[in-house]
A = this chain, B = another copy of it.
Amino acid sequence: MNVYEERRKKINAWMTEEGITMVMFQHTEDQRDPGIRWITGFPGDGLLFLSSVSLCGSLLIPWDMNLAFIFSDVESLIPYNDFERKPIIALKAALEFFNISAGSKIEIPPVTPYPIFLEYLEAIADFDVLCRNNGVHAEIQTLRAIKDAEEIEIYRHIAGITNELIDLLEKNAKAGKLKTEGAAALFIEAECRKRGCEGVGFETLAAGPLRSYGIHPFPAYTMGDFATKGLSILDFGVSCFGYTSDVTLTFAKEPLTKPQERMLTLTERAYRSALSQVQSGIPTKDIAAGVDRLFSNAKKKMPHALGHGIGLEAHEFPMIRNRKDNNWILKPGMIFTLEPGLYDMAHGGCRLENDILLTENGAETLTNARIIRL
């Protein structure tokens, strides 16, 4: 049984327990769900239907059949074009395909817009349509938060490439070969692909001293100065098999102002403090609250979360943030970022972000991002 079959088996068991007969997944331009890739390996646009009636109940309805022949592990394939690329028509066809009896529970994506939900209710009025935040889709996101052996192996590979690029970026910056935001970002674009990556995991954010005040600079990168006097931020990830790393380097070029030095010191301290708290059983909220307290004692405020899980999405579970509704507890197999940062309109910003794997033996820092002094 391959990894996709194993995952479908788990989902099938959960569906059976919950009495769900068929579930629908949608990965299209207006509604993204990398869960389809997790379940079948297929990275393209389309719909996926799983039926709990049989263990072979998987039907992929891809936009691009040519791509699906090559990339998908699934029992059945029908072109999306056969249904005018309309989810509602495909849904009705899937019910017929699996021969689902009237009255059965059919679960649709929890992100289904309310007006579309009403259309579904009308179109398949004979069925019990579920659209909820605690259904199959949420269960899959929870399963995805704990990486399996295959995923951890992929992450060790991605981290290796990421670390190679970090070292080269430091070397190039020190040699004066990284003088624009574009030079840094394009270097990553080219070098990750040379190493067999699918690409960057998200648009590289490169902000020279004039733009590092922003959490996420806009535009993501320009041809403006980078790694010149002051603080520059470089936030990037590289992706293999759909999984992305996510790290942030800060380049600090002397002479620095006192407030800049203080931001760097505090950020490094916050990072070490957070990392020292990482262990199985710890609520992630407590780690984030500790960092917020550390900054607050220094009369500073971090305007974003401390971190987040990574995987097929750059941001996924577990949450690592100081918010009342965050009930995530660290468990072995989780891979997540820690990324304290501070931002100032006058002095610029800094952030330090690494990817952490929690194993049975404790935290393992997969990546080597750091504050690089020039």
* Chain A interface residues (CB < 8 Å from chain B): 29-30, 43-45, 63-67, 69, 71, 79, 81, 84, 110-115, 117, 131-133, 182, 185-186, 189-190, 193-194, 198-199, 203, 213-216, 218-223, 303-304, 315, 323-324, 343, 345
Q: How far is the CB of A234 from chain B (nearest CB, A)?
A: 16
Instruction: Contact check, B218 vs A193: say whether CB atoms are below 8 A apart.
Output: no
Cβ-closest chain B residue relative to A120: B114
A353 to chain B, nearest CB (A): 17
Chain B residues contacting A323 (CB-CB under 8 Å) are 84
Contact between chains at A133 and B115 (CB < 8 Å): yes
Q: Is the CB of A67 within 8 A of B218?
A: yes
Tell whether, in the assembled complex, residue A64 and residue B303 are in contact, meaning their CB atoms are under 8 Å apart: yes
A66-B213, A186-B190, A303-B81 as given contacts; A218 in contact with B71, CB under 8 Å: yes
Of B43, B63, B189, B222, the residue contacting A215 (CB under 8 A) is B63
In the complex, A221→B194 CA distance in Å?
11
User: With the chains together, A216 CA to B45 CA distance in Å?
Assistant: 10
Contact indicator B222/A193 (Cβ below 8 Å): yes
Q: Chain B residues with Cβ under 8 A from A189's Cβ?
A: 182, 185-186, 189
Contact between chains at A131 and B115 (CB < 8 Å)? yes
Most chain B beta-carbon neighbours within 10 Å: one of A114, A213, A304, A324: A114
* Distance of A315 from chain B, by nearest CB (Å): 7
Are A345 and B221 interface neighbours, CB within 8 A?
no
With A131-B114, A189-B189, A315-B29 as known contacts, state yes or no: A199 contacts B218, CB within 8 Å: no
Q: How far is the CA of A221 from the CA of B198 in the complex (A)?
A: 8
Closest residue of B by beta carbon distance from A121: B114
Residues of B close to A304: CB separation below 8 A? 63
> Could you tell me the distance in whole angstroms from the C-beta of A95 to the nearest C-beta in chain B?
19
Verify A110–B113 contact, CB threshold 8 A: yes
CA distance A189 to B216 in the complex (A): 19
Q: How far is the CA of A64 from the CA of B343 in the complex (A)?
A: 10
- Whole-angstrom CA separation of A132 from B215 in the bound complex: 33
Docked CA distance A324–B45 (Å): 22
Q: Which residue of B lies closest to A69 (CB)?
A: B345
Q: How far is the CA of A63 from the CA of B304 in the complex (A)?
A: 9
Chosen A-B contacts, 30 in total, with CB atoms closer than 8 Å, are: A30-B111, A43-B218, A44-B218, A45-B216, A63-B303, A63-B304, A64-B303, A65-B303, A66-B213, A66-B343, A67-B215, A81-B303, A110-B114, A111-B113, A112-B113, A113-B131, A114-B114, A114-B117, A114-B131, A115-B131, A115-B132, A115-B133, A182-B189, A182-B190, A182-B194, A186-B186, A186-B189, A186-B190, A194-B223, A198-B219
